[in-house]
Amino acid sequence: MDRSAELYERSKKVTPGGVSSPVRAFKPNPLFIAEGHGCRLKDVDGREYVDLCMSYGPMITGYGCPIVEKAAMAQISKGTVYGAPSEPELDLIERIVKEVPSADMVRLSCSGTEATMHAIRVARGFTGRDDIIKMNGGFHGAHDAALVAAGSGSAGGVPSSKGVLADVAKHTFTAQYNDIQSMSDILDKQDIACVIMEPIMGNVGVVTPEKGYLDEVRKVTKEHDTILIFDEVITGFRASSGGAQLRYGVTPDMTTMGKIIGGGFAAGAFMGRKDILENVAPQGGIYAAGTFAGNPVSAAAGLAQIDLMCRNDNYGKLEKRTERLVSTIMDCMADSNVKGCVNSVASMFSVFFGIDRATTGTEAMAADREMYDRMFRYMLDHGVYLPPSALEVDFMSLAHRGEDIAVLEEGFKGFFESVKK
C-alpha cells in the first residue's frame, strides 16, 4: 500500500470522505501532497506531477513564488492577525480599487464563499428586495442562497443540498448563461435584488460569454434597478489585471473576488459602487464581519502576487503560452476523431468530451464525464495532475515553462493517441 492510501485510510475515519472539500476526492484515494514548487506537486510517495489544477485557481504565480513567499514571510514575522486594521490590507484594497473598474470601495473577507454571501446580503439590504437570480451551473460558494438548483416552471429554486431551507431556496431564481431572454423573463415578473453570475463560467468547466451578452446583461439589470454582481472569484486578476469586467468592458455594480487575491492564503473580497458599499457596517446597517477578514499575511501575499502579475506583460505572456497548449490539445483531439471541444480564455481552459460546443451550463453539464475520468487517470500515470472532477478548469501559471509544457503536451498527445478511433 502506498502512503497516500494509508493516509486516506486514517483520514476517512476522522473527516467525512477523507477530504476537507468534496471536489478533492477521487477513487481509490486522493493523493496526499507533500510539496509544491513552481507548477509541480510532489505527493507523499515521492511522485512528481506537473499541476494543471493549481489549487483551483489561486496559484497564478506558482507554488512558492519567491516574491510572494518573501512578502508573506516578512509579514508572518511581524504577526499574523491583529483584530485591528493594518497597512497590508489597506495596500491591497487600494490596489484593487486602482485595477478593478467596478471597485469604488472594497470590503475584505476570508473566502469566496463569504464574499458572495455578504454581497448578496448587501444587494438585498440596499434594494429592499428578497429574490435573486443565478445562472444554471453557476457556483458561488457553499452557502444557503447559492446552494440552489432550478425549480420547475417559473417558480424559484429548490435546495441543491440537504439542510438548505426550501424557504430560502425559493428566493433564488435560475437563468441560463448566454441566453439573455431567460434573464429578462424573470426580471419582468419578479422584483429582483441582484443577478449574481460568473462573467466567464468556471464551475461547469470554462464557458465564455458570447459577443454582446454581458452588455445585454448590464442593460437589462439596469432597466430593472437590479444590482449586477460579477462573481470574479476565479476570474479576478486571472482574466486580466482588472478581471473579466475589464477584459469585456462591462462594469457591474458589485464584484466578488477570492482565490488569486490571497496569494495562496485564505482571502475573499466584495466591492462595488460607493453608494452601495457605504451601507455596510459600521458605516451602514448591513452587517458583514470576520475575525480573519483582511488578514495581513493574506493581504501581503496577495498584493505581491497581483503586483507581479501586473508587471512585464505577464498576463499577455501567460495567455500566449496557454493558447499554444490549447491549440496542441485541439489538434490532438481532431486527429483522434474523439468527439469533444476545448473552451479557453486567458490562462484557463477546459476539455469537454462528447459535445461539440459548451456555451451554456446545460450544454457543459451534458459532457461525457467517464471519458474525462479516463483522461484524468491517463494523465496522472504520465506525470500530470488535472482537476480530479470533470467540469473543473485547467489553470496555467507563470511557473509553467518550456520543460513543464513539454510534459503536458506529451501527456495530451499520448492520451488522444490511446483513445484514437
Nearby residues of 233 by Cβ (< 8 Å), 6 or more positions away? 57, 112, 115, 116, 140, 141, 198, 256, 257, 258, 259, 268
Of 108, 145, 234, 342, the one binding ligand PLP by CB under 6 A = 234
Q: Kindly state the smallest distance separating residue 114's Cβ from ligand PLP, in Å.
A: 7
**145 vs 333 by CB, closer to ligand PLP:** 145
Q: Kindly state the smallest distance separating residue 232's Cβ from ligand PLP, in Å.
A: 8
Neighbour tally for 230: CB within 10 Å: 32
What letter would DSSP give residue 46?
Answer: S
Binding flag, residue 112, ligand PLP (CB under 6 A): yes
Query: Which residues from 241-280 bind ligand PLP, rule CB under 6 A?
Result: 258, 268
Q: Kindly state the smallest distance separating residue 418's Cβ from ligand PLP, in Å.
A: 31
Of 86, 116, 221, 360, the one binding ligand PLP by CB under 6 A = 116
Residue 397 corresponds to which cell in the numbers above? Answer: 501559471
Number of residues forming the site for ligand PLP (CB under 6 A): 15
- CA-derived radius of gyration, the chain: 21
**229 vs 329 by CB, closer to ligand PLP:** 229
Burial 233-247 (b: 16+ CB within 10 A, else e): bbbbbbbbbbbbbbb
Residue 188 corresponds to which cell in the numbers above? Answer: 419582468
Residue 308 corresponds to which cell in the numbers above? Answer: 507581479
Q: Kindly state the smallest distance separating residue 203's Cβ from ligand PLP, in Å.
A: 6
Binding flag, residue 111, ligand PLP (CB under 6 A): yes
Q: Which stretch binds ligand PLP (CB under 6 A): 93-101, 170-178, 229-237, 291-299?
A: 229-237
Neighbour tally for 78: CB within 10 Å: 12
Distance between CA atoms of 137 and 390, rounded to whole angstroms?
A: 13
Phi, psi dihedral angles at 419 (to 5 degrees)? -110, 10
C-beta of residue 233 within 8 angstroms of C-beta of residue 201: no
List the 33-37 sheet strands across, edge first: 33-37, 40-43, 48-51, 384-385
Binding flag, residue 298, ligand PLP (CB under 6 A): no
Q: Which stretch binds ligand PLP (CB under 6 A): 110-118, 128-136, 272-280, 347-355?
A: 110-118
Of 89, 99, 231, 394, the one binding ligand PLP by CB under 6 A = 231
Query: Which residues from 169-228 bind ligand PLP, rule CB under 6 A?
Result: 198, 202-203
Q: Which stretch binds ligand PLP (CB under 6 A): 22-30, 123-131, 135-143, 153-161?
A: 135-143
Distance between CA atoms of 106 and 268, rounded to whole angstroms?
A: 10
Q: Kindly state the smallest distance separating residue 256's Cβ from ligand PLP, in Å.
A: 7
Of 113, 241, 245, 347, the one binding ligand PLP by CB under 6 A = 113
Residue ranges that bind ligand PLP, judged by CB under 6 A = 111-113, 116, 139-141, 198, 202-203, 231, 233-234, 258, 268
